[in-house]
Amino acid sequence: MSTPVRFAILSMAHVHAPAYAAALQALPETELVAIWDDDSERGLRAGTNFGVPCYVDLHDLLRRDDIEAVIITSENVNHRDLALAAAEAGKAILCEKPIATVIDDAEAMIAAAQTYEVILATAFPVRHNLPALRTREALRSGAIGEPIAIQATNHGTLPPGWFTSRDRAGGGAVMDHTVHVADLLRWYLGQDPVDVYAEMSNRLYGLSVEDTAFLTLRFPSGVVATLDPSWSRPPSFPTWGDVTMEIAGTRGTLQLDAFAQRLVLSPAQSQHVEWIGWGADMDRAMILDFARAVRNGTPPAASGRDGERALAVVAAAYASAQSGRPEAVAAPPD
């Protein structure tokens, strides 16, 4: 890559935004040149931390010709408006997951990217996690024969602030944590699920959104997968959560623990065990993949359509929790 791709971050609202900013500054292929935030105090603080200007007027930032790409890390409900503005300004877009809170918004984002001929990618960093990559390679090589059943988890701790607001997040644990594994399952199996059955509860924290859930997904090939996306890890847990799978096949089983590349530290001055990851940085790998897509005009690892397909699983899960029966996963438009 000859010259770095110049990025702006749109909103520091998301907990992943600082890590993405740090990744942009660490990679020689990328450069963070600006931040926009509708919360001026938060934005100015981030601008100071990362040594770049912070804008309070979105269109002032988007008018800069030197900015080639943006990363959207706002509250979920604002993804559509920010993506449409960025697409109209001719900026490539990497959007935090979930791509939107409703399918219509995701479709509008995809349509805008097509209209203005810009790249729209979804931030699915687990596709760049080395254990997850090796799992896909093993499945594709036939190491365990044909997959039959999958048991998966994406547990988490209770996230802060707006994540527990239905108006701003679009839901609770199911909206927040289903999409990572839904995307991996599609990526591994090469197919979308047919339907989803879901049970949800808010009994852990008593919030207006669900904090625990259990989903069953059925695929056209006959594979049945279960997923626990609950915010069930207590504050004392050594890390935010996990991504795990146990995959049963016709010739064996395969186990994935995406974040098992870690050191376990038990400091004398603390009552809590700490996990220190030593594996490759999947955020950096995702941003590097996106930067190369921008520079070379190649498809990103996870497209806007991949984001919409994962969101379709979430939508079916919420419909199922209301109806009490399995609900079909909506097919993408022709």
pLDDT of 1 higher than 70: no
Residues 38 and 147 in one domain: no
Binning pLDDT at 50, 70 and 90, where does residue 232 land?
very high
Over range 196-204, report the average pLDDT: 97
CATH code of the domain containing 183: 3.30.360.10
In the chain, pLDDT over 70 holds for what percent of residues?
Answer: 100
pLDDT of 300 higher than 70: yes
pLDDT of 60 higher than 80: yes
Residues 115 and 132 in one domain: no
Asked if the structure places residue 265 within a domain, the reply is yes
| Digit-coded pLDDT (tens) for 149-175 | 999 999 999 999 999 999 999 999 999
d(CA 111, CA 333): 11
d(CA 149, CA 250): 10
Residues 186 and 316 in one domain: yes
Asked if the structure places residue 203 within a domain, the reply is yes
Asked if the structure places residue 247 within a domain, the reply is yes
pLDDT of 271 higher than 80: no
Residues 238 and 152 in one domain: yes
Residues 45 and 132 in one domain: no
Asked if the structure places residue 334 within a domain, the reply is no
d(CA 306, CA 109): 12
| Digit-coded pLDDT (tens) for 79-102 | 999 999 999 999 999 999 999 999
Asked if the structure places residue 316 within a domain, the reply is yes
Residues 158 and 273 in one domain: yes
CATH code of the domain containing 31: 3.40.50.720
Range of the domain at 219: 127-279+311-328
Over range 185-211, report the average pLDDT: 97
Residues 87 and 148 in one domain: no
Considering only CA atoms, which of 4, 7, 1, 2 is closest in space to residue 20? 7
Total number of domains in the chain: 2
Residues 252 and 158 in one domain: yes
154/333: higher pLDDT: 154
| Claim: this prediction has a pTM higher than 0.85 | yes
Binning pLDDT at 50, 70 and 90, where does residue 33 land?
very high
Q: What is the predicted pLDDT for the residue at 275? A: 87
Over range 38-58, report the average pLDDT: 96
Q: What is the predicted pLDDT for the residue at 235? A: 86
Over range 293-304, report the average pLDDT: 97
Residues 55 and 107 in one domain: yes
pLDDT of 268 higher than 90: no
Q: What is the predicted pLDDT for the residue at 202? A: 97
Asked if the structure places residue 202 within a domain, the reply is yes
Q: What is the predicted pLDDT for the residue at 334? A: 75
Asked if the structure places residue 306 within a domain, the reply is no
Q: What is the predicted pLDDT for the residue at 333? A: 84
Beta-carbon contacts of residue 66 (< 8 Å; ≥ 6 apart): 6, 33
Residues 27 and 144 in one domain: no
Residues 219 and 160 in one domain: yes
Q: What is the predicted pLDDT for the residue at 20? A: 98
pLDDT of 278 higher than 90: no
Residues 255 and 211 in one domain: yes
